[in-house]
Each structure stands twice: as C-alpha cells, then as structure tokens.
C-alpha cells in the first residue's frame, strides 16, 4: 500500500533532516516511488538537491575551520573535518570526469580529491604538497561516489612537514591510497 503524498513528504523532510547526504535514488527506494516523484516532492517542499545540501552543510560546519585553502577550492565536498587529525570528503564521478570510451574516471580527479583533502586537514594558513606516494588500486566508473578519508600519520623530524594518509573508497572497495608529505609554515599550525 502506497503512502499518502502528505505523509510521504512529512517523512521525506524528517529523513533528509536526519541524513542530509541521502540521495534521491535512496529516497526513491525507501518510499517505493520513482526518483522523479522524489524530485517533485523536493521541489514542492523547497528542499535543494543533494549537491546543494552537502555544500550548505560543509560551508556551515567547516567553512571557518579550513585554513590552507578556501573550502570551495576543495575537490569534492568535505563532510567531516578535525584539523590536524582527520577529514572526509565525497566526490560524485560524472560524465565530465571520465574517459569517453570506457566511462572510467580520469586519475587526476581522484588525485585532486585526495590532495586537496590533505591540504584542507592541515591547521595552517600555508600547506603545500611537497611529495606524494600514490597508488590507484581499482578503477572508478561514472556514477560512482568516491569517499576519501584523510588522517594525519605524524610529523617528520623536520618540524615543517606533516604526513597525511588518504584512502579513497567506492562502497567498501579501496580505489586509491596515498601518503602526502605536506609542507607547512609551522609544526602546530599557529
């Protein structure tokens, strides 16, 4: 039995408030209606699309925290960050990010997501990548969502360097891993 429109919209609002990162496709499955119905409901309720919701949450929560580059310059959307500790971003692979002949994501997009997250996690006005050791472990296709997780591994003996480990996943599958040696103005970001 289908849920009445008013009840579905009420549940839709609550679901998106609980998880602003839920996709239209996931909502469609949950409410057993078409993706188009979900989009029409969102439009009627003035609920922005996923990308705008993510951007809004990131800017509200993390816009003032990220020091080394403006948040809008991060490739992907930051969904969690604790400076000098860890950060997470998501990147949705679209047609413009893939090779036309096989729909596989171009590597520089995955690298850019990981590298910009490594810069963003540094608690300093200046953070630059001085060296990177990277591995692409699995291909990524158009339409997939890449979740990059960065964490500080520790400072090297030279006080102006910090190692940031970044692992990127599609679902539970590791698709990219890298260690980024980051130059910073100071060892503690102050």
Shared-domain flag, residues 30 and 67 = no
Strand partners, 12: none
Within-domain flag for 189: no
CATH number for the domain including 25? 1.10.10.10
Of 76, 83, 85, the closest CA to residue 58 belongs to: 76
Q: Mean pLDDT, to the nearest integer, of 76-91?
A: 86
Q: Mean pLDDT, to the nearest integer, of 35-61?
A: 76
Whether 155 has a pLDDT exceeding 60, the answer reads no
Within-domain flag for 108: yes
Q: At what angle do helices 35-45 and 5-18 cross, to 10 degrees?
A: 80
Strand partners, 82: 86
Retrieve residue 16's tokens.
């998106």
Q: What is the pLDDT of residues 40-51, one digit of tens each?
A: 998 888 887 876
Q: Helix or strand or coil: residue 157?
A: coil
Containing structural domain, residue 40: 5-47
Shared-domain flag, residues 98 and 11 = no
As a 3-state breakdown, the chain gives helix, strand, coil percent values, each rounded to 5, of 35, 30, 35
Whether 61 has a pLDDT exceeding 60, the answer reads no
Shared-domain flag, residues 82 and 145 = yes
Q: What is the pLDDT of residues 14-33, one digit of tens each?
A: 988 887 778 888 899 999 99
Within-domain flag for 171: yes
Shared-domain flag, residues 84 and 30 = no
Shared-domain flag, residues 25 and 91 = no
Q: How far apart are CA 30 and CA 87, in angstroms?
A: 29
Whether 189 has a pLDDT exceeding 50, the answer reads no
Shared-domain flag, residues 10 and 91 = no
| pTM over the 0.75 mark | no
């Amino acid at each position: 039995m289908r849920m009445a429109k008013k009840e579905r919209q009420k549940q839709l609002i609550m679901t998106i408030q609980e998880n602003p990162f839920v996709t239209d496709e996931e909502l469609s499955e949950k409410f057993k209606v078409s993706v188009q119905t979900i989009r029409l409901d969102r439009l009627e309720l003035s609920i922005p699309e996923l990308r705008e919701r993510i951007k809004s949450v990131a800017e509200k929560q993390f816009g003032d925290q990220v020091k080394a580059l403006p948040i809008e310059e991060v490739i992907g959307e930051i969904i969690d960050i604790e400076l000098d500790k860890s950060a997470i971003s998501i990147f949705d692979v679209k047609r413009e990010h893939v090779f036309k002949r096989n729909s596989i994501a171009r590597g520089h997009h995955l690298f850019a997501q990981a590298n910009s997250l490594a810069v963003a996690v540094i608690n300093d006005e200046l953070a630059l990548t001085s060296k990177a050791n990277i591995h692409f472990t699995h291909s990524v296709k158009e339409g997939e969502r890449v979740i990059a997780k960065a964490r500080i591994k520790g400072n090297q003996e030279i006080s102006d360097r910090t190692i940031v480990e970044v692992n990127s996943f599609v679902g539970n599958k590791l698709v990219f891993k890298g260690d980024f040696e980051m130059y910073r103005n100071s060892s503690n970001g102050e």
